[in-house]
Amino acid sequence: MTVESLTNLTIEEARSAVAAGRTTATALAVAHYDRIEVEDKAINSYLALSRERALVQAEKIDAMAQRGEELPPLAGVPVGIKDVLAMRGAPATAGSLILKGYRPPYDATTVDRLEAAGAVLLGKLNCDEFAMGSSNENSAYGPVRNPRAMDRVPGGSSGGSAAAVSADLCVASLGTDTGGSIRQPAAFCGVVGVLPTYGRVSRYGLIAFASSLDRVGPFTKNVKDAATMLEVLAGKDAMDATSSDRPAGGYVDALEKPVEGLRIGVPEEYFGEGLDPEIRAAVEKALDGLKAAGCTIKKVSLPHTKYAVPTYYVIATAEASSNLSRFDGVRFGLRTAEAKSLSDLFRKTRDAGFGPEVKRRILLGTYALSAGYYDAYYKKAQQVRTLLTRDFLAAFNEVDAIVAPVTPTPAFKLGEKTDDPIKMYLEDIYSVAASLAGICGMSVPCGETSAALPIGVQVLGRHFDEATMLRVAKAIEAAQG
């Protein structure tokens, strides 16, 4: 098999090829590294490669295959890891200068579970600094370019994770989603991205941005691969007190069930002013496909949607202010050499280590939590969060899943919105409400614009009902042909 044929495989195809002896896990890893060396110079999706660890794992899988043993679900599958997740021996910078040189001595639970399932971990993927951004232009190590249109952003914050899958630089990847950071890049790069229910996948080993919102999820080339990845990742973790002990799994089998009879909600608030006409048409076409498959399409209302963006940017920044206080130049990462006192060390290290967007969010969050403003901002935002959650609970009393746009526009040009934070924040208008409510969601490709830019459709499901969400996504995918 050629490098090209080895790097455009799905999870199922890669595992089957290794099991049948048509290729080896080592050949798959080497082919991906060869492609990264050529293609990633322009894309900039990888920040570090873990070649030695990857080849040791590949050799283990090849030995199992040669002995005729039953292979695990991700045997030999090359996977990339977003650089906000701890991976033993590899850098974990979170896209920031303040963590330059930091190498965690342990694996995140999600990383550990992938490797236990046979995945070959290629390296760490670029992202917006501390996962704060919607374009992957906030990384201290340079922006990521969208492989589908090199003058465009890949989305953020998991831009490197989406771009790497889109460009065949890995078969699947891990990203994180706090307010849309898996779903939006998936839509922009034309791949599948899954936001699991809060508590469904362990956050142990994740460098925190906003602890009540952060979630880890996969990027893949199709819906079945996403179900396979989620089956490996999901489940209770004793190392994460917020992980749920609700039963997990059965996601791949659920894809075989027909969607006939399912009720699909269409939120009127997601189809208003500002939605690109080509995206609207693509989402409506996806809904027509579901109707043809036997689904009932029903309008629903999520009346507090208009408050979602300001609510998110109060809660997320407040939690970021708290979480990022640990980066002070004392324990790990960057330390300025010019400090004359301890307070001077803190101030100068944080000033040199954090980028403009992270500083902006720390300031916003610190203000929202300060004496005299806590009740007016943070407490009020938490109350509105409850109203947003109730909107979804009421809607899910009437429907089995909700289908909506992921983004108001297709991928925009690099530099187009960097000078206007408000415009950038409004990129999250269709994604943050689900994040605040803790429900599951995903982005599935559903066509292209006239300029050949990918369009994604968003499928939202009840808490811990990833199985139904994936069934609907599979039906949308099937209708695309």
Q: pLDDT tens, 341-372? A: 999 999 999 999 999 999 999 999 999 999 88
Structural element, H or E, at residue 31 = helix 25-43
Per-residue confidence (pLDDT) for residue 422, from 0 to 100: 86
Per-residue confidence (pLDDT) for residue 423, from 0 to 100: 86
134, 158, 166, 181: the active-site residue: 181
Q: Give the tens place of pLDDT for each residue, 287-301.
A: 999 999 999 999 999
**Which tokens hold the place of 378?**
């943070």
Cα–Cα distance measured from residue 7 to residue 31, given in angstroms and rounded to the nearest whole number: 7
45, 50, 82, 435: the active-site residue: 82
Residue 309 has pLDDT above 70, yes or no: yes
- Choose the weakest-confidence range: 264-268, 398-402, 414-418: 414-418
Query: Has residue 471 been placed in a domain?
Result: no
pTM of this structure: 0.97
Per-residue confidence (pLDDT) for residue 294, from 0 to 100: 98
Residue 1 has pLDDT above 80, yes or no: no
78-82 and 172-177 strand pairing: parallel
Cα–Cα distance measured from residue 308 to residue 429, given in angstroms and rounded to the nearest whole number: 7
Residue 452 has pLDDT above 80, yes or no: yes
Query: Has residue 434 been placed in a domain?
Result: no
Residue 3 has pLDDT above 90, yes or no: no
β-bridge mates for residue 404, sequence order: 458
Mean per-residue pLDDT for 217-223?
98
Query: Has residue 236 been placed in a domain?
Result: yes
440-448 and 192-195 strand pairing: antiparallel
Per-residue confidence (pLDDT) for residue 118, from 0 to 100: 98
Known catalytic residue: 82? Answer: yes
Query: Cβ(427)–Cβ(184) under 8 Å?
Result: yes
Cα–Cα distance measured from residue 256 to residue 139, given in angstroms and rounded to the nearest whole number: 40
Known catalytic residue: 322? Answer: no
Percent of the chain with pLDDT over 70: 99
Cα–Cα distance measured from residue 409 to residue 394, given in angstroms and rounded to the nearest whole number: 28
Which CATH number belongs to the domain containing residue 161 in this structure? 3.90.1300.10
Per-residue confidence (pLDDT) for residue 282, from 0 to 100: 98
Per-residue confidence (pLDDT) for residue 481, from 0 to 100: 77
Count the domains in the chain: 1
Q: Give the tens place of pLDDT for each residue, 21-59.
A: 999 999 999 999 999 999 999 999 999 999 999 999 999
Mean per-residue pLDDT for 15-19?
97
Per-residue confidence (pLDDT) for residue 275, from 0 to 100: 96
Q: Which residues contact 247 (CB under 8 A, 6 or more apart)?
A: none
Cα–Cα distance measured from residue 139 to residue 94, given in angstroms and rounded to the nearest whole number: 8
Query: Has residue 333 been placed in a domain?
Result: no
Q: Which domain holds residue 20?
A: 3-254
**Which tokens hold the place of 360?**
């902006």
157, 158, 202, 443: the active-site residue: 157
Which band of pLDDT confidence, cut at 50, 70 and 90, is reported for residue 425? confident
Known catalytic residue: 285? Answer: no
Reference 20, options 9, 31, 32, 33; nearest CA is 9
Beta strands in 282-385 (DSSP E): 296-300
Query: Has residue 57 been placed in a domain?
Result: yes
DSSP 243-307: S--S----HHHHTTS--TT-EEEEEGGGGSTT--HHHHHHHHHHHHHHHHTTPEEEEE--TTGGG
Per-residue confidence (pLDDT) for residue 399, from 0 to 100: 98
Query: Has residue 41 been placed in a domain?
Result: yes
Query: Has residue 87 been placed in a domain?
Result: yes
Query: Has residue 380 been placed in a domain?
Result: no
